[in-house]
Amino acid sequence: MTEAPPRQLLVSPIKDGTVIDHITAGEALNVLKILGITGTTNERLSIATNVVSRDMRRKDIVKIEDRELMTEEVDRIALIAPRATINIIREYRVVEKKGVEIPSILIGVVRCPNPGCISNTEEPIKSRFEVVEKGLRCYYCDNLITRDIARHII
Amino acid sequence: MYHIISILDFSREQIDDLLEKARRINENRKIERSLEGKQVALLFFEPSTRTRMSFASAVSRLGGTTICVDSVEGSSIIKGETLADTVRVVSGYVDAIVLRHPKEGAARLASEFASVPVINAGDGAGQHPSQTLLDLYTIRQSMPLERINVGLIGDLRYGRTAHSLAQALSHYHVNLFTIAPNGLELPETIQIELQDMGTEICECAEVKDVIRDLDVLYVTRLQRERFPDSATFVNVQQSYRVTPQLLSGVRDHMIVLHPLPRAGEIDPAVDSLPHARYFEQARNGIPVRMAMLTEVMQ
């Protein structure tokens, strides 16, 4: 008779901060990019990718220590990880758990792929997209992004 | 404040109201002076003949005056000034701004920074709402817009007038027939959008297959730079050319439109046929632009 492999934690718990769970497999780094967290920022991070998940088969997890993410920050994640859940941790306990909702307007998150768009010039504006059923519509040039949204994240 | 930036911002009721206003202006013998004492800036950062002249004429017929910038070279843009700063400054001089600019979305940006109404007179390959409105106006002179068969022929990939017209016509449950050379078909995103709005689109290989079913044939310019070599361009241009022979047997009320300038797409022999409406279409720029100016200045 074969024994089931022992269950073990891949990433240790954090004392305070945010755990983003149920990220679409392979999108963890893009999630960090959307949140503006890069190698040069100060947050202590744990990232697990392609973790086995009962609901999603495979998922990514990101843990950010000593930083509680705001709703408007995490909602932008919904673009690439619509099933992500956000857990706010204090003293090792989950004090708040929420899903992500796609915002109706995205400002300064996605670059318009249309090279002729005024938002890709030196004008004093940020890119702005309306979230529509088929994808994202540029507020300035009406260009519609229907696929591969992560590639256009600033 | 009321700006006119994109035909996509218009509901069917707003389009109908504006076309009706243009019709009344056209039929009204007494001179409307709704721009008396007002000044309009025509900021044209790209070459234009018809649009610039007809806006100038429309302002003048409404009793207003214009100040103009005719090129990037003649403006502070060449010194590195942003469009945002330019429209903020010009807003202090005038009562409205008519803008043509090579970048798509320029008019939308201008409307954010201007303190006076902005009318988009064409932004790059993007929107050109006054052209769309005068196209609709010209069709409506001949027939109701509801449920007609409209053929779009030519460069449907880069031709902004065809895109905007198709988008506006989607309010009227029309059937669209598209006839375009390989690689110059209507962009997929626009097709999806039109189908979502309930427009039936039929892609046709040859115009002669559908010409007898059409109420409107909208011809757009084929540009040499879109083709790999001159021979291919000439071949395609010949096969897409509208001639009196092509139009034989079409519906009596069928009309041929073109935003002009034409470059060989329509045989000059078509000009004398009752179907040819492209010069009337250009003339309609005056009442339509008068209606737009009156609308934003209210």
Question: Tens of pLDDT along B229-249?
Answer: 888 888 888 888 999 999 999
CATH number assigned to the domain covering A105-152 = 2.30.30.20
Instruction: Indicate whether A12 pLDDT > 80.
Output: no
- What is the rounded average pLDDT for all residues in chain B? 92
Per-residue pLDDT, averaged over B125-148, amounts to 96
- At residue B76, the pLDDT reads 65
Residue A17 zone, left/alpha/beta (φ > 0; ψ -120 to 50; rest):
left
| pLDDT exceeds cutoff 80 at A39 | no
Confidence of residue A34 (pLDDT cuts 50, 70, 90): confident
Cβ distance B105 to A117 less than 8 Å, yes or no, reads: yes
Return the pLDDT at B66: 97
Looking at residue B63, the DSSP 8-state letter turns out to be: T
User: Cβ–Cβ contacts within 10 Å for residue B78, how many?
Assistant: 10
Average pLDDT over residues A121-150: 90
Q: Which two tokens stand for residue B182?
A: 């390989």
Whether residue B196 contacts residue A137, with contact meaning beta carbons closer than 8 Å, is answered with no
> How would residue B74 be classed by pLDDT, with cut points 50, 70 and 90?
low
Reported as a pLDDT band with limits 50, 70 and 90, residue B131 is very high
Q: Average pLDDT, stretch A123-133?
A: 93
Note the ipTM here. Answer: 0.86
Query: Nearest by CB to A142, which of B103, B109, B127?
Result: B127
Question: Which chain B residue has the Cα nearest residue A145?
Answer: B189
Q: Does the distance separating the beta carbons of B103 and A138 come in below 8 Å?
A: no
Q: Which of A68-72, B129-133, B175-179 bottoms out in mean pLDDT, i.e. has the lowest?
A: A68-72
Which residue blocks in chain B are alpha helix, DSSP H? 12-27, 50-61, 83-91, 106-113, 129-142, 160-169, 188-196, 230-239, 278-283, 285-297
Fold of the CATH domain A17-99: Alpha-Beta Plaits (3.30.70)
Q: Check B189 against A146: CB less than 8 A apart.
A: yes
Amino acid at B5: I
Percent of chain B clearing pLDDT 90 (strictly above): 75
Three-class SS state of B9: helix
* Pick from B48-57, B137-146, B182-191, B221-230: least confident: B221-230
pTM higher than 0.90 for the full model? no
Q: Which CATH architecture has domain B7-127+285-297?
A: 3-Layer(aba) Sandwich (3.40)
* Confidence at B75, pLDDT banded by 50, 70, 90: low
The pLDDT score that the predictor gives to residue B217 is 98
pLDDT value for B29: 62
Query: pLDDT category, B199, cuts 50, 70, 90?
Result: very high
Please tell me which residue, B234 or B272, carries the higher pLDDT value. Answer: B272
Q: Which of B51, B66, B86, B178 is catalytic?
A: B51
Phi, psi dihedral angles at B191 (to 5 degrees): -60, -45
**Interchain proximity B84–A125, CB inside 8 Å:** yes
Q: Provide CATH 2.30.30.20 ranges for chain A.
A: 105-152
What average pLDDT does the segment B173-178 reach? 96
- Out of B33, B50, B147, B212, which one is annotated catalytic? B50
> In B, which residues are within 8 Å of A149 by CB distance?
none
> Is residue B128 among the annotated active site residues?
yes
Q: Number of helices and strands (H, E) in chain B?
A: 10, 9
* B148, pLDDT greater than 80: yes
| Cα distance between residue B242 and residue B151, in whole Å | 12
**B49 a catalytic residue:** no
Q: What is the number of CB-based contacts under 8 A between chain A and chain B? A: 62
* pLDDT band at residue A53 under the 50/70/90 scheme: confident
Per-residue pLDDT band for B96 (boundaries 50, 70, 90) equals very high
- Rounded CA-CA distance B214/A6 in Å is 72
Residue A81: the pLDDT is 87
pLDDT at A40 over 90: no
Stronger pLDDT, B296 or A34, i.e. the higher one: B296
Please tell me the least confidently modeled range out of B91-95, B111-115, B224-228.
B224-228
Predicted confidence band at B69 (pLDDT cuts at 50, 70, 90)? Answer: confident
pLDDT at A10: 59
Residue bearing tokens 């000439």: B234
pLDDT at B106: 97
* Probe site for chain B from A121, A122, A123 (most B CB atoms < 10 A): A123
Nearest to B41 by CA among B104, B92, B112, B76: B92
B226 counts as catalytic? no
Q: Report which of residues B31 and B276 the model is more confident about.
A: B276
Determine the residue of chain B that is closest to A144 in CA distance: B189
Strands (E), A54-143: 57-65, 85-90, 93-99, 105-107, 128-132, 135-138
Mean pLDDT of all residues in B199-228 = 91
- Relative to beta strand A44-53, strand B118-123 is unpaired
Domain ranges of chain B: 7-127+285-297, 130-282
HSE-up of residue B293 (Cα within 13 Å, Cβ side): 36
Contact B128, B120 (CB under 8 A): yes
Q: Give A-chain residues touching B126 at CB under 8 angstroms.
A: 116, 141-142
Domain B130-282 has CATH 3.40.50.1370: yes
Contacts of A125-129 with C-beta under 8 Å, sequence gap 24+, read A125/B84, A125/B109, A125/B112, A127/A154, A129/A105
* Topology match between the domains B7-127+285-297 and B130-282: yes
Compute the half-sphere exposure of residue B214: CA atoms within 13 Å on the CB side of its CA: 30
d(CA B64, CA B108): 24
